[in-house]
Structure 1
C-alpha cells in the first residue's frame, strides 16, 4: 500500500464511516435492504453492470466490501485487478474476499490526480462513489479527468451513483438521504440526472446513463 494521502475533513467524512463493524453489516443492510426497498435499485442490476463491462485488466475505485468483484464474471480466471480506496478497512476486506485474484491495493484520493505504477487498464469501476464525495456534482466529476488517463484507448469506466434530483425518490429515500447528507456520509443533495449526463457528455463521445430507482447507472468509453 502506497503513500497514504492527507485528507480534508469533508473528503474524510464520506469514507470514515466504513469501520470493520459497518463493513460486516454492509452487504445485508445496503446491498440487501436499502438497494431493494429504499433506493429501488436491485443489487442484481449492479452485478449485471459489472458483468457487462468488467475486463481482465480492471481497476476498481471505491471497493466497499468487494461484493461486486466477488460476484461478477471476469473474462479470465486470472485477471489483473487493482483496488483503489481511501479506506484501509475497505481495501483489506476486499483484498481478502477476492484473494483468489491476487489483487494489488492502493490508497488514493480520487479527487486528486492519480498515479499508479504499471500498465493502463481496460476497465475502471466507480460504483456508489460519486454520492459519497463532497461538493457539487460538476466539481466531483473531476474524478473522470483523473481516471481517464489510466484507461487504454477503447477502455470503459462504469459505475452508479445515487441522485437527489431528476429521479423519483420515495419518502424513505428522501429521509435516509437527508440523514446521510447531514452526517457527511453522502453529499448528493443537489446531484441531478441532467448534470451527470452533462458532465459525461463533456468528457466522452460514447456514454450512456440508465436510471434504476434513485440510482443512475452509467458507462463511458475513452
Structure 2
C-alpha cells in the first residue's frame, strides 16, 4: 500500500498546474516518443456516453474529448483527492461523480458504463504488468457487455526506449513515481489475451490498448 500511495503522491495541486505542459509537450514527444494526439485519438474513438475515468490526472483527455453525446455522465476514480477535485473543476460542464478508491481493488461505483479509461495509470502502480491486469478486470466488471476498456501505459522492455527515456524512467522508478521497471510488452500482451477482443498499438515506448469485455 505504501508503494501505491507513492505512485500517486506527486499529483499535488501545485504539480497539476504545470503537468499538462511538462507531460504532453515535453516528455510525451521527446522522451516517450508518442505525441499526445495519438492517445487523444484512441480516447475519442473509444469513449462512451456513460464513462468511467480511472487515474484522472488533470482531466486533459476528457476535457478535449469528442464525446458521442453532448451531455455525457462521467465517474472519476482516483486514490488522490487533489486530481479528483482538479479534474472535476475542469469538467464542470458535464455531470461528474467523484469516487476515491484504489483501482487494485473492486471498484465501488455504480455501473454499467459504456467505457472505462486508464491512461498513464498502470506504470504508476506497483507490481509486474501481469499483476496490474487486475485493474483491467476491475474495469471490465463494471462495463456493459460490448463496452470498451481502453488506455495507455509506458513500458520499459520489448519496446523502443531511447537513452534519455531510460534515464528518466530510472529516476522516476527510484523516486516511486513510476513502477514500470518490470512492465514488458510481452507481459501486457498476456494480460490483454485474457479478453476475447483486444487491440494493442505501440508508439515509442507507449502501449495503447483497447479491450471489449
Choose from 179, 182, 186 the match for 2:174.
182
Cross-structure match for 1:115: 108
Q: Is residue 2:125 matched to residue 1:133?
A: yes
Choose from 69, 74, 77 the match for 2:67.
74
Cross-structure match for 2:192: 200
SS at match of 1:60: strand
Choose from 149, 160, 169 the match for 1:157.
149
SS at match of 2:98: strand
SS at match of 1:137: coil
- Mapped partners of 1:53, 1:145: distance in 2: 17
Cross-structure match for 1:18: 11
Tell me, which stretches of 5 or more residues in structure 2 are unaligned? none
* TM norm structure 1: 0.94
Shift of 1:218: 0.2
Q: Moved runs in structure 1, 4+ residues, more than 6 A?
A: none
Shift of 1:9: 0.6
- Mapped partners of 2:136, 2:60: distance in 1: 23
Size of the aligned set, in residue pairs, is 213
Shift of 1:140: 1.2
* TM norm structure 2: 0.98
Shift of 1:115: 2.1
- Mapped partners of 2:5, 2:87: distance in 1: 19
SS at match of 2:127: coil
Shift of 1:87: 1.1
- How big is each residue's C-alpha offset from its partner over 1:12-38, in whole Å with a ceiling of 9 and x where there is no partner? 000001111110110000111100111
SS at match of 1:99: coil
Shift of 1:102: 2.1
Q: Is residue 2:210 matched to residue 1:219?
A: yes
Shift of 1:51: 0.7
Shift of 1:120: 0.6
- How big is each residue's C-alpha offset from its partner over 1:105-127, in whole Å with a ceiling of 9 and x where there is no partner? 1001011111213x310100010
- Mapped partners of 2:141, 2:163: distance in 1: 40
Q: Is residue 2:162 matched to residue 1:170?
A: yes
Cross-structure match for 1:3: none
Cross-structure match for 2:2: 9
